[in-house]
Amino acid sequence: LQPHLVIIGGVAAGLAAAMEARRRAANLRITVLERTGDISYGACGIPYALSGLISDIEKLTVHSAWYFSERGIEIRVHCEVTAILPARSTVEFTESGQVHQLEYSHLVIATGASASCPPVPGHQEDGIFVLRNLQDARRANEFLNNRQPRKAAIIGAGYIGLEMAEALTARGIQVTLIDGGSVLMGSLEGALRDRVLDELRNHGVEVLLGERLTAFESVGDRVSRVITSGDRSIDADVVFVAIGAKPNSDLARDARLEIGARGGIITGPGQQTSVSNIFAAGDCCEVLHRVSGRRVWLPLGQPAVKQGWIAGANAALDRVIERYGGVVGTNAVKVFDLEIARTGLSVEDAIEAGFQPQTSEMSSPSRAAYFPGGSRILTRVIHDGRGKLLGAEMVGKEGVAQRINVFATALYSDVRTEDLGQTDLAYAPPFAPTVDPVLRAVFEVVRLESR
C-alpha cells in the first residue's frame, strides 16, 4: 500500500492534522472522512452567530473543501466511519447508504465530542436544543427566527450557557439560567461568582443555582416549561441544554484502543494511541494536565488544533518527532460587559489531585487610578501555601482574558509564586496600574506564604 493517511473528522483537530501532514510530506495521500456536510468551522463562534453579532452562521466556515483539495487533501463529507479494523489497517464507512472500506497506512482519529440532552420526560419536544456543530446552530437559528420565542431557559451555567444567556438577551428574549450546582463555569465561587451573577441579573437574566432539570412540559408539540428539582416550573418556549459533552470515542473503544477513565482516547505524548499507526487528537482524547500530572478530559479549541498538528506530523513522518506538552486548563468567556477567565486547578481539582490548596483573593484597578475608564479586576489565586501555584481565576470588565495568560504561562512552566512576583510586566496608565493586578495578587500569596 502506498502511504495513505486517513483522518476521521473534518473540524479543528482533523484538519490541523491534515494540513500539518501535508507540510511534512508533500506527496502523501491524505483523505478526510467527515460524517456531516460541514468542515473547517469555528464552533466557538456559534453563540455570536445566534446573537446576531455575526450576521450569518455560514460565516463561521473558515475554508471550503476546495481549499483543501487544492493542497492535495481529499475531503469526503457525509461519510460516517462505522468501524476501525486495526488488524487490517482499514476503516469502514457509509456514504449514501452504501458501506465502503478504505485502507490506511496511518490513521488519525479526530472525532470530537457530542452534546446531548438528558433523557428526562419531554426531552424530545420541539424547541429544545444542544449546540455542538453548525447543523445544531442552523436548526436553533431557524427556530428563533421563525417561532420568535419570548422566554428561554438555559440548562447549565458553563461557558456555553453563559455565552448563550448573553446571545438570547441580545435577541430580546427573557432568559432563565438554571444550574444544579452552586458555582459558575464548573468552579467559579465566592466574590468572583457573585460579580458574574450581578452582571447577569443587571442584564435581566434570572439565575437559579442548585436547581436540577427534571422534566420538560409542552403545549402541542412545543416545549413550554422546564421543571426543576426544587419543583419550580419555569416558562420557556425555547430551551438550550448546555450541561457538557462527552468524547466521541466509541469507534476507538470498539477497535480496542485504550480508553481512559473519563471516556477519552488515551494517547502518548506524540498523540499515538495504543496501536502504533493510529493517532488521535482533539476533543475525543484525554490529555495530561501539567499541574496535577493526571490525565483529564478538557475539550477546548486550542489544544485540539495543537494536538492535530502533532498527530499529523508524526503520522506523516511515521515516527514520533513532535510531542504535546499537555494542558493547564485555560479558558475565557465574555458575559455582557464582563470577562471571566480561569487557568490551572480549581480548589476541588487540587484537593482531588492530592494538594492542600489555599486561596487568596485580591481586587485591583485595571488602569492607573487617575486614568479614566478603569474598573476593578477580581483575582483569586489557588496555591499550596509553599510556593507552588495551582490555579487562578479572574473577573473584570477589561484586561482579564489576556492577563490570565500570565498565570497560564507560569503554570505551564511550574514557575514558583516568588519568581512570578518578580516578572517584569508592562505598565502604562491606560493599560494597568503601576503594579499589575497579576503581580498584586501574587504578592499577596507570597506575603501569606512567608507568615
Ligand X SMILES: Cc1cc2nc3c(=O)[nH]c(=O)nc-3n(C[C@H](O)[C@H](O)[C@H](O)COP(=O)(O)OP(=O)(O)OC[C@H]3O[C@@H](n4cnc5c(N)ncnc54)[C@H](O)[C@@H]3O)c2cc1C
Q: Does 282 bind ligand X (CB under 6 A)?
A: yes
Among 18, 157, 304, 432, binds ligand X (CB under 6 A): 304
Q: 14 or 399, CB closer to ligand X?
A: 14
Contacts of 403 (CB under 8 A, 6+ apart): 341, 377, 394, 436, 437, 438
Number of residues that bind ligand X (CB under 6 A): 35
141 phi and psi angles, rounded to 5 deg: -65, -40
44 is an active site residue: yes
Member of 46, 327, 350, 394 binding ligand X (CB under 6 A): 46
Report residue 36 CA to chain centroid gap.
20
Residue 175 binds to ligand X (criterion: CB under 6 A) = no
Site residues for ligand X, 89-108, by CB under 6 A, read none
CB 194 within 8 A of CB 209: no
Q: Annotated catalytic residue: which of 44, 117, 284, 285?
A: 44
* Contacts of residue 80, Cβ cutoff 8 Å, sequence gap at least 6: 33, 35, 93, 94, 95
Q: Does 179 bind ligand X (CB under 6 A)?
A: no
State yes or no: residue 199 binds ligand X (CB under 6 A): no
Least distance in Å: CB of 185 to ligand X?
Answer: 12
Separation of alpha carbons 78 and 39, rounded Å: 10
* Contact track, ligand X, 361-400, x by CB under 6 A: ----------------------------------------
Strand order in 90-95's β-sheet? 79-85, 90-95, 98-103
Q: Smallest distance, Å, CB 294 to ligand X?
A: 20
Owner of C-alpha cell 488519525: 108
Secondary structure, 3-state, 100-129 = EEEECCEEEECCCEEECCCCCCCCCCECEE
Interacting stretch for ligand X, rule CB under 6 A, among 220-228, 298-306, 349-357, 380-388?
298-306
Cα 74-80-83 angle, rounded to 5 deg: 110
Nearest approach, Cβ of 99 to ligand X (angstroms)? Answer: 13
299 part of the interface to ligand X, by CB under 6 A: yes
Residues lying near ligand X in the complex (CB under 6 A) are found at 8-14, 33-36, 43-44, 46-47, 80-81, 110-113, 131-133, 160, 248, 251, 282-283, 299-302, 304, 331
By annotation, the residues acting in catalysis are: 44
